[in-house]
Structure 1
């Protein structure tokens, strides 16, 4: 194995594949990145039985070959060198040269490295930037409690009738839902899959610059229980989670007693200031008043207190409601419009946040209020 590769290409490939390296590898070889040089390209792969990441970059290959190198060591080296990178395998050692730097790296046993999973046939195609945005929007609601693994996933539902893919996530305190049109290529009925949220977010971010990506949903032909994301030069596979998220359709109200519109930048800045004194026991209180003012308050008389206000447009009666400050700010960050519409039924029932003047496929963020004492 002997090749030359541009530093930027190698750095991008190592960064992409290293996402699949586990923090505590169950076997030493899983700490490695598999390098495969052939046909004027270098293929870099990582695998941990749950997630695989595989990418190819152009290279000048003098001798074809394969080698397994410590992924973290290679990542550290690549982050410090500059200029074209020359790699040459000599016996069980990999020689790496870049500029004036020289490294001799031990290799890991290739024969012990597991075979990479094969992605299933594509279920549908959509734009990489749109998918990355949608995943990022719903990922804010993914649960972080590993004792409830179902809530750590993002649901992807294909609707055969409408030709759409709907993403949803919840941690029991909020529910985020986003729908995308997509080109179905291999499905003949509705299908739902639950995919680990954090790895899916990482994979979607890595594919955000790809014009189009192919998704293969678990249950499709040849998928073997895997979700896969494939672009022209990279592939990520994720082992699907068992179970389903709670049904969310009935949770979102269809009729509202109040609607308020607020500029997102102003509200987020005020919420972040007031949140400095807020806690789980002392959430942010939002008072929507008839004089087009939204008053934000946090804190108690025995502790620090904060108050701020922003302009709003309220339709309906005055309302005071309280939210977890972090959850409120997450929802504001997820929206891509200049203003947010709050839809309320009562101060004790879930509120719906949506981008102002957004369509039915845009993000819907359902947020549970915190009951105010007294």
Structure 2
């Protein structure tokens, strides 16, 4: 039965497992706008066919589509308020859910629970974009890790759209992802399985959408399909698709120029420090108790140790000392504690390596390599080659 035929049905009836419907509704509803210029865009479209259910959402920027097994007695289509439906189904007992549509009302029955919801007008619901051709695949756990590492540095100011995205560079088997909000920069390189060896593209993807998609992936272990819709007139891609198992989503790309970030990454450092991450995070949290808001914490690095301090005479002061493997010129540098914790949380090794040039210049945070590099003839330490790098601007020290 086609979609056009579905639109002619005046009644719909199906029974579905509560957990399956709840999971699908929650996934679609989370991408719907809480405030929309058109109320119809807050709806979830449910299409019932002999093959089961398909749930869809679309706000003209992001589309989502998921399939669910169901016992369909009467095929057809209904449109319901997405977040309300998700909340209701999520609160139902763990029993089969029967949903009936009589042309005006949606009736939800589950055990002794009964709900009657108004159906939204389906005629003006926008057509979802076609899923683009698949450009390649990536392991789902690696996909989630990569996106979470980079998205943390993306900007949240919608007046600067170029900073709210994640830049993805595709060059054959290699992906480079980067994000920055001007105060920090995160860059991750990863290999994937491209659909063709000579594929090449540069994309700017909304970071919030990509991060939400990565967090909500099915844990089936199936590869994540990354799809691109290329606009020949612009020479670039305008739509990104992500699919895994029975879930598919698309997002419109950001039409803006991402800052040139590679010149910002230092090739050498005057000093390097290696610190265990878990105790460092604990120390930062404690010292931050006497800082105002996101005020600075100071870090003094020297041979054999690190001293973390913060606060002032009006609030109180705190200081902690940690063991630290350090080489190079001692220095005192200050950071925003929130940005520092974000960077440390994105590094998935037991220890972090800091690279410094001078206290007023950005520092780098890296996963610890097997061996720290030796100084060159000029006494500088080359930046270790790692798949992830987090560049962090320091806070100006008083005086």
Fold shared per TM-score above 0.5: yes
- Quote the offset at 1:106 in angstroms: 1.2
Structure 2 match to 1:283: 296
Q: Which residue of 1 aligns with 2:346?
A: 334
TM-score relative to the length of structure 1? 0.94
Post-superposition CA distance 1:181-237 (Å, at most 9, x none): 111115734311001111110011112524211112352689972111012211111
Shift of 1:39: 2.8
Of 306, 309, 332, 1:297 maps to 309
Residue aligned with 2:72, SS: strand
Aligned residues: CA RMSD: 1.9
Matches within 5 A, 1:208-287: 209=219, 210-219=221-230, 225-279=238-292, 282-287=295-300
Cα distance in 1 for partners of 2:270, 2:323 equals: 20
Q: Which moved more, 1:275-284 or 1:56-65?
A: 275-284
Q: Following superposition of structure 1 onto structure 2, how do residues 162-181 of structure 1 map, counting pairs within 5 Å?
A: 163-181=173-191
2:41–2:125 Cα contact (<8 Å) kept: yes
Distance 1:95 1:360, change over 3 A: farther
**Deviation at residue 317 of structure 1 after TM alignment:** 2.3
Measure how far apart 1:277 and its partner are: 2.0
- The residue number in structure 2 matching 1:63 is 74
Is the contact made by 2:14 and 2:100 (CA closer than 8 Å) also made in structure 1?
yes
- SS of alignment partner, residue 307 of structure 2: strand
Q: 1:224 to 1:139 in 2, by over 3 A?
A: closer
1:197 and 2:207 aligned: yes
CA–CA distance in 1 between the matches of 2:122 and 2:86?
Answer: 19
Q: Superposed, which structure 2 residues align to 1:1-374 within 5 Å? A: 1-82=12-93, 83-160=95-172, 163-186=173-196, 188-207=198-217, 209=219, 210-219=221-230, 225-279=238-292, 282-290=295-303, 292-357=304-369, 360=385, 362-374=387-399
Q: 1:340 to 1:281 in 2, by over 3 A?
A: closer
C-alpha deviations, 1:254-280, integer Å up to 9, x for none? 111111111110000100111122247
Deviation at 1:68, TM superposition (A): 0.3
In structure 2, what is the Cα distance between the partners aligned to 1:313 and 1:55?
A: 50
In 2, Cα distance between equivalents of 1:208 and 1:314:
42
Structure 2: stretches of 5+ with no match in the other structure: 1-11, 371-383
Contact 1:19/1:46 (CA < 8 Å) preserved in 2? no
Does the CA contact (< 8 Å) of 1:121 and 1:221 recur in 2?
A: no
Number of aligned residue pairs: give it: 371
- 8 Å CA contact 2:183, 2:392 repeated in 1: yes
Change (3 A) 1:187 1:196: farther
> Could you tell me how far apart the structure 2 residues matched to 1:218 and 1:284 are?
45
What is the rounded CA distance, in whole Å, between the counterparts of 1:75 and 1:362 in structure 2? 39
For the residue of structure 2 that corresponds to 1:273, the secondary structure is helix
Asked if the contact 2:367–2:386 (Cα under 8 Å) also holds between the matched residues in 1, the reply is no
For structure 1, list consecutive stretches of 5 or more residues without a partner in the other structure.
Answer: none
TM-score scaled to structure 2, two decimals?
0.89
More deviation, 79-88/220-229: 220-229
Q: How far apart are 1:324 and its partner, in Å?
A: 0.7
Contact 2:134/2:226 (<8 A) preserved: yes
- For the residues of structure 2 that align with 1:275 and 1:208, how far apart are their CA atoms? 37
Counterparts of 2:335 and 2:14, CA distance in 1? 57
| Contact 1:129–1:208 (Cα < 8 Å) also in 2 | no
How far apart are the structure 2 equivalents of 1:119 and 1:85? 30
1:94 deviation in Å? 1.4
- Post-superposition Cα deviations, 1:113-162, rounded to whole Å, max 9, x if no partner, equal 011111210111111111111111111101011111110111111023xx
SS at match of 1:12: helix
Separation in 2 of the partners of 1:228 and 1:281? Answer: 37
